[in-house]
Amino acid sequence: MAIEQPATRPGNPRFSSGPCAKPPAFSLDKLSDAPLGRSHRAAVGKAKLKAAIEGTREVLGIPADYKIGIVPASDTGAVEMAMWNLLGERKVEMLAWESFGAGWVTDAVKQLKLDAEIKEAPYGEIVDLATVDTDNDVVFTWNGTTSGARVPNGDWIKSDRQGLTICDATSAAFAQRLPWDKLDVTTFSWQKVLGGEAAHGMIILSPRAVERLENYTPAWPLPKIFRLTKGGKLIDGIFEGATINTPSMLAVEDYLLALDWARSVGGMEGLRERAYANLAAVQSFVAENSWLAFLVDDPAIRSNTSVCLKFTDDRITDGAAFAKAIVKRLDAEGVAYDIGAYRDAPAGLRIWCGGTVETTDVAALMPWIKWAFEAEIEAQTEAA
pLDDT tens digits, 67-97: 999 999 999 999 999 999 999 999 999 999 9
Name the 3-class secondary structure at 102: helix
Element (H, E) at 350: strand 349-352
Name the 3-class secondary structure at 320: helix
Q: What is the DSSP-derived secondary structure letter of residue 240?
A: T
Q: How far apart are CA 232 and CA 17, in angstroms?
A: 39
CA-wise closest residue to 144 among 135, 154, 152, 136: 152
Give the helix ranges, DSSP H, for the chain. Answer: 43-60, 74-86, 99-106, 207-215, 249-264, 267-288, 319-332, 359-383
Residue 1: predicted pLDDT: 64
Task: Give the chain's residues under pLDDT 50.
Answer: none
DSSP-derived pairing of the beta strands 165-168 and 200-205:
unpaired
CA-wise closest residue to 339 among 316, 354, 323, 322: 323
pTM: 0.97
Residue 237: count other Cβ atoms within 10 Å of its Cβ: 13
Contacts of 343 (CB under 8 A, 6+ apart): none
Q: CB burial class (10 A; 0-12, 13-18, 19+) of residue 89?
A: middle
* Ramachandran category for residue 11: left, alpha or beta (phi over 0 → left; psi -120 to 50 → alpha): alpha
164 touches 185 (CB < 8 A): yes
pLDDT tens-digit map of 310-340: 999 999 999 999 999 999 999 999 999 999 9
Helix, strand, coil content of the chain in percent (nearest 5) = 40, 15, 45
Amino acid in position 62: I
Q: At what angle do helices 43-60 and 249-264 cross, to 10 degrees?
A: 30
